[in-house]
Chain A
Amino acid sequence: MGASYLAVGWNRQKKIYDWLIFGFCVLYLATFVVLTAIFNPDYTFETVLIRATSTLAVIILHVILSIGPLTRINKKFLPLLYNRRHLGVTMFCIILVHGSFSILQFHSLGNENPFVSLFTSNTHFGSLADFPFQALGFFALIIFFLMAITSHDFWLHNLSPKVWKTLHMFVYLAYFLVVMHVMLGVIQYETNPVFIIIMLTGSFTLITLHLIAGTREVKKDNVIYKLKQDGYVLVCDIKDIQEDRAKMFCVDAERIAVYKTGGKLFAVNNVCKHQNGPLGEGKVIDGCITCPWHGYQYLPQNGQSPPPFKEKVSTYDVKIEGTHVWLNPKAYAEGTERPGAVISVVNAE
């Protein structure tokens, strides 16, 4: 980043997104409380809050984990991805309420330190029926905490994108811990099948979406380009690429986006420097390649973000013969200016 940091870079879309999240959470919690008051009037306030926040958090967690594969399957889901980190922080806040009230209710009434009690009150690690499931939830909470506090771009920059991405991939471990926390907890305390139905439906949906999206990615990456000459490979026809859009090609393990804009073709590395978003699925806005995930921009001719930003991606040579597009997968240093390939009227016809 080259510009000054803000707490939140608010815009109209983010405000609408956050209001929708807030509205949904309030509506869900209110409905849960009312229904519990009707059907289980003997439940305490703490119990209702623990249950309401747990189910809400599990639902939001499934939505968060679905957004990635959904956007790979259909671009219409991209608006959900744009502000996913706010959804993540919201989920953490809800889980924090759940965890705090759980520790208060179950571990703060004795002489023992509540955190010590959490790990020592139940040590039946060898028993499925009595497994200390609360500890699993606590570890998941810690992972969500680390993700929430590093959700600002300052941390992406200062922990390095690689470390940041690795840290945030721990969400899948956290998800596994949540699944085990819910399932083992249900075995011990719950007779209502709703909890187990939510969890199983969510897990099945997530696995299916990830498999569909993953299969598509593998197919794209495994395309073999047979025609080669002078280091170039034949990738497509000019007409295959729409104006101000790109097509992504994986050649020699390099993911490259070939953009058509302003009567030329340009090739840049497909991976956005921000959060590894797929630049080839973006479009040209105001003369810049714009990442579909969070709007990071790069100039097509040199792969550099316009000032004051300083991100750079690799560039590549691309040429046109007849109507065929040829791409050289040998990367130039990040930010290297390339002339691009001019589309003549004859080529375009």
Chain B
Amino acid sequence: MSTVTVILSAIALYLVAGIIFTIIFQLKGLSKIDEGVHGSSWGFRIIIIPGCIVFWTILLRKWIKANKEIINPPKEHA
């Protein structure tokens, strides 16, 4: 297997993981990381899908952080 094939396969795997993440994230996580999502349009949710697939690791980190803040709110919000 050539280096190019290995790199392209790794990218493909990353993007497949992104697609799976995006489905779950759109259903359960999106509204937790950004209050601007509340009351947003379907068009908005569709338009951000490619970005969610590519930047899923960043969004996952924000989602985990948001969940932690719900369980242990920061002092100024407690």
A interface with B by C-beta (< 8 Å): 1-8, 113, 115-116, 119-120, 146, 149-150, 152, 154-155, 157-159
Contacts and interface: CB of A to CB of B under 8 A. Distances in A.
A37 to B, nearest CB: 35
Interface string B16-50: 00000000000000000111111111011011101
Nearest to B43: A7
Contact of A5 (B4, B37, B51, B54): B37
B51 A149 contact: yes
Contacts, number: 64
A229 B58 CA distance: 48
A252 B17 CA distance: 48
B8 interface: yes
B8 A116 contact: yes
Given A120-B2, A158-B33, A6 B40 contact: yes
Contact of A7 (B36, B44, B54): B44
Contact of B41 (A1, A7, A115, A119): A7
Interface of B: 2, 4-5, 8, 33-41, 43-44, 46-48, 50-51, 54-55, 58-59, 62
Given A8-B43, A152-B44, A116 B33 contact: no
A116 B59 CA distance: 30
A154 to B, nearest CB: 6
A116 B58 contact: no
Contacts of B5: 113, 116
A223 B39 CA distance: 47
The prevalent SS among residues of B at the interface is helix
In order of increasing CB-CB distance, the 10 nearest A-B pairs are A7-B43, A4-B39, A5-B40, A149-B50, A149-B51, A5-B44, A119-B4, A1-B36, A4-B40, A7-B47
B54 A157 contact: no
Contact of B2 (A3, A116, A159): A116
A152 B48 contact: yes
Contacts of A119: 4
Contacts of B34: 154, 157-158
A119 B50 CA distance: 24
Nearest to A148: B50
B39 to A, nearest CB: 4
A2 B36 contact: yes
A158 B59 contact: yes
Contacts of B47: 7-8, 152
B15 to A, nearest CB: 12
B71 to A, nearest CB: 21
Contacts of A159: 55, 58
Contacts of A6: 40-41, 43-44
23 contacts: A4-B38, A4-B40, A4-B41, A5-B36, A5-B40, A6-B40, A6-B43, A6-B44, A7-B46, A115-B8, A120-B4, A149-B54, A150-B51, A152-B48, A154-B37, A154-B44, A154-B48, A155-B48, A155-B55, A157-B36, A158-B33, A158-B59, A158-B62
